[in-house]
């Protein structure tokens, strides 16, 4: 696994040498733009419309537009100098409960691994956080950008989640036509709760796949092998306008509209019965 950042975690006077590894990967299918006539990949050149010429990388600088058409030039080394002291440190400033953080703040996940001579303090932090049930709130600079971050226990190691700062999360009140509190009938609420109960289960990430990506890959493989391409027609959806009709139609496939035990409870009951059966056979 490729190391994408080296530095240390600090909390109090404790300093832990670490490495960061990307915990996720983007599996979007990448396609290139081609010239329709000859299928040659299209090139994108950076050009100056004023000088009417293509530019090399060393001819390009970064600038901030503070007024329309007016820029102040910012050099890369000027930005790096501002964050030089903190660029190699994950500084934990607080410990909080994970449940106190809304998921909207989380951005990207990284595995944290110990660097040279960092195994013991790494394990000390992991065990202490595990015992306390808390996570660390930290600051880290990655690629000249400062991030808020959450350091937490993940399986038998540590993970860091970069987070958005509060001013980067938009206010829900800005959503247009957000409904106010309204009266709902007891029957509607009961049926909605029943539907939730029927769909409740234990979270198993292996049950979910990117069906669209799989379909595109199957299409690509068909084209490569020269097979006939079969397009599956989408099933027409039933147009249910009335809310009660929609709830009723959602519950109909189960064959009952009576309250039922959630899947999670059924799974636990099944596990207990299997366990008892094994114990009986052992005796």
Stated as kind and residue range, the H or E segment containing 53 is: strand 53-54
The total of other beta-carbon atoms located within 10 Å of residue 96's CB is 12
Q: What is the average pLDDT score of the chain?
A: 84
For the CA atoms of the chain, what is the radius of gyration? Answer: 27
Cβ burial, residue 35 (10 Å; 0-12/13-18/19+)? exposed
Torsion on CA atoms 177, 178, 182, 188, rounded to nearest 10: 100
**E-strand stretches of 29-169:** 47-48, 53-54, 62-67, 70-74, 89-96, 106-114, 135-142, 145-154, 157-163
- pLDDT-derived band at 36 (thresholds 50, 70, 90) equals very high
Q: What is the mean pLDDT of residues 191-208?
A: 88
CA 11 to chain centre: 26
pLDDT of residue 134: 96
pLDDT of residue 222: 85
As a whole number of angstroms, the distance between CA 21 and CA 111 comes to 5
Q: What is the mean pLDDT of residues 235-251?
A: 70
Q: What is the mean pLDDT of residues 162-190?
A: 89
Cβ burial, residue 280 (10 Å; 0-12/13-18/19+)? exposed
pLDDT of residue 239: 60
As a whole number of angstroms, the distance between CA 9 and CA 91 comes to 6
Q: What are residue 245's phi and psi, to 5 degrees?
A: -65, -40
- pLDDT-derived band at 251 (thresholds 50, 70, 90) equals confident
Half-sphere exposure of residue 165, counting CA atoms within 13 Å on the CB side? 7
- pLDDT-derived band at 135 (thresholds 50, 70, 90) equals very high
pLDDT by residue (tens digit) across 70-126? 999 988 888 777 765 556 889 999 999 999 999 999 999 999 999 998 999 999 999
CA 138 to chain centre: 19
52 φ/ψ sector (left φ>0, alpha ψ -120 to 50, else beta): left
pLDDT of residue 236: 65
pLDDT of residue 157: 96
243 vs 224, residue with greater confidence = 224
Nearest to 96 by CA among 120, 64, 129: 129
Stated as kind and residue range, the H or E segment containing 253 is: none
């Amino acid at each position: 696994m490729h190391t994408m950042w080296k530095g240390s975690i600090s909390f109090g006077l404790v300093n832990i040498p670490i490495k960061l590894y990307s915990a996720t990967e983007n599996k979007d299918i990448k396609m290139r733009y081609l010239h329709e006539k000859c299928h040659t990949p299209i090139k994108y050149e950076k050009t100056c419309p004023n000088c009417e010429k293509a530019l090399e990388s060393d001819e390009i600088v970064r600038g901030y537009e503070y007024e329309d058409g007016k820029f102040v030039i910012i050099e890369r080394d000027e930005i790096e100098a501002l964050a030089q002291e903190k660029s190699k440190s994950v500084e934990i400033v607080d410990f909080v409960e994970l449940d106190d953080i809304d998921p909207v703040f989380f951005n990207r996940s990284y595995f944290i691994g110990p660097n040279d001579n960092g195994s013991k303090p790494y394990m000390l932090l992991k065990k202490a956080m595990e015992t306390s049930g808390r996570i660390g709130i930290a600051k880290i600079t990655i690629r000249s950008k400062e991030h808020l971050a959450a350091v937490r226990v993940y399986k038998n190691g540590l993970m860091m989640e970069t987070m958005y700062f509060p001013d980067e999360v938009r206010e829900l009140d800005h959503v247009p036509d957000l409904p106010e509190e309204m009266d709902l009938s007891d029957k509607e609420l009961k049926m909605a709760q029943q539907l939730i109960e029927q769909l409740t289960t234990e979270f198993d990430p292996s049950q979910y796949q990117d069906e669209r990506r799989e379909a595109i890959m199957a299409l690509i493989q068909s084209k490569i092998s020269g097979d006939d391409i079969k397009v599956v027609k989408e099933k027409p959806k039933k147009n249910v306008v009335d809310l009660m009709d929609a709830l009723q139609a959602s519950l109909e496939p189960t064959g009952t509209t009576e309250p039922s035990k959630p899947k999670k409870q059924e799974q636990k009951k099944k596990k207990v019965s299997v366990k008892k059966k094994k114990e009986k056979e052992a005796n």
